[in-house]
Amino acid sequence: MKTINPKLLRQLFVIFLIVLLGWLIFKEMATYLSGVLGAITLFVLMRKWQKYLVNKKKWNPSIAASLLMVGSFLVILVPIAGLTLMLTSKVSKAVENSGKVVDIIKSSLSKLETQIGMNLTETIDTGAITDWMSSNLQNLAGSTFNILIAISIMYFMLYYMLTNRRTFRETLLDYIPLSESNLKVIGKDSVNLVKSNAIGIPLVAIMQGTVALVGFLIFGIEDPFFWFAVVTIGAMIPFIGTALGIVPVCIILYASGQIGLCIAMLAYGIIVVGSTDNIFRLIIQKRLADVHPLVTIVGVIVGVPLFGFIGLIFGPILVSLFLLIVKIYKQEYGKELSQTEEEVL
C-alpha cells in the first residue's frame, strides 16, 4: 500500500489555509476593494513625483507624500464628489417627475404612430418605468459610509507606499511566488495598464464631454453641465458612448415640440461629437497603451456592481490585471508546444 508523502500533505494543508484565509479576507474586504485599487493607481501615478521631491529636492518623504495626497484630493476627489452630488440631485428630480416625462414621450409617440400606423404607446407601462427608475437610478451615489471607509483605506495605503517605496517593493518580492524577471514584466505592464485606464479613458471621455458641452451651450440646452457629465460618463462605456447624453436631450427637445433644434442637436452629436472619439483616442494612444474595447466593457460590467460609479475606471484595471496574471502564469509554468506538436494541431 502506497503512503502519501508527509511533506506533500503539509504543503497541501498550507495551500488550503492560504486559500481559505485569503477567501475570507477578500470576502470581507470586497466592499472596500476600490480603496486598494485606488491606492495602487495613485501610487503608480505619483511615484515619480515622490522620487523627484525626495531625491532631487531633498524633501522629507512624509512631507512630500502628504503634499501629493492633498493634491490628489483636490484634483480628483473633490471634482468626483461634486459630480456625484450634482447627479444625485438631478436623479432625485428625475425620479420625482419620471411619470410626467414618460407621459410626454407617450403623447409624442401617439402622434408618430398615427403617421406610421403602428400602436406603440400600449406597450409602454408608465408605472413599471417609474418603479425601475426609483429602485435603480438613486444608487448612483452608492453608500456614503462605505465610500468614506474606502477613501480612508486608500490614503492610508498610499501614504505607506509612498513613504516606504523600497520596503514596499521588497515585501512584494518576498511574498509573490514568481521569478524576478516575471515580476519586472508585471511591474512594467501594470504601470502601462494603470496609466491607460486611469488617465487615457477618463481623458478621452472628458474631451468628448467638452465638445458636447459646446453644442449644449450653442443650442441653449437646459442644464448643459449636467448633460456634459452624462456624456462624459457615457463616453467611458463602450458601445453606449456619448449617446447616453445626446439621445435623451434630443428626446426632450422632440417632446417639447422643438423639432428643428432636435434635428440640429442630433446632427451635432453624430457628426461632431461622434467623430471626435477616434481623433482623441488616436492622440492619447500615441502616449499611452491602448485598451481593447472588450476589456473595457467587461471591466464596466464587473466594476460598476463592485465599486459603483468609479467602477468605470477600476473595473477595466481589475480585468487587465487578471489577464496580465494569466499571461505571467503561462510564462512561468506553461510549456511551449514543440514544433511537431504544433504541426499535428
Q: C-alpha angle 120/125/128, rounded to 5°?
A: 150
Mean pLDDT along residues 179-201: 74
Residue-wise pLDDT tens digits, 91-108: 665 555 555 555 656 666
Distance CA 12, CA 321 (A): 27
Residue 91 lies in a domain: yes
Which of 175, 195, 210 finishes a domain? Answer: 175
**Lowest mean pLDDT, pick from 60-74, 75-89, 134-148, 259-273:** 134-148
Residues 184 and 308 in one domain: yes
pTM over 0.75: no
Residue 205's Cβ-count burial label (10 Å; 0-12, 13-18, 19+) is buried
Residue-wise pLDDT tens digits, 185-194: 777 777 777 7
Confidence label for 64 from pLDDT (cuts 50, 70 and 90): very high
Contact 191, 317 (CB under 8 A): no
Amino acid identity for residue 118 in this structure: M
Residues 92 and 138 in one domain: yes
Which of 126, 142, 175 finishes a domain? Answer: 175
Confidence label for 141 from pLDDT (cuts 50, 70 and 90): very low
Residue 342 has pLDDT above 60, yes or no: no
Q: What is the pLDDT of residue 338?
A: 44
Q: Which three cell numbers stand for residue 284?
A: 492619447
Residue-wise pLDDT tens digits, 215-266: 999 988 888 888 888 888 888 877 778 888 888 888 888 877 888 898 999 9
Q: Which of 41, 75, 10 is nearest to 318 (CA)?
A: 41
Residues 253 and 301 in one domain: yes
Residues 271 and 291 in one domain: yes
Which of 175, 193, 219 finishes a domain? Answer: 175
DSSP letters spanning 171-205: HHHHHS-S-HHHHHHHHHHHHHHHHIIIIIHHHHH
Amino acid identity for residue 142 in this structure: G
Query: For the chain, what's the residue count?
Result: 345
Look up the domain containing 302 and give its range.
Answer: 180-332
> What three-state secondary structure class fits 3?
coil
Residues 215 and 256 in one domain: yes
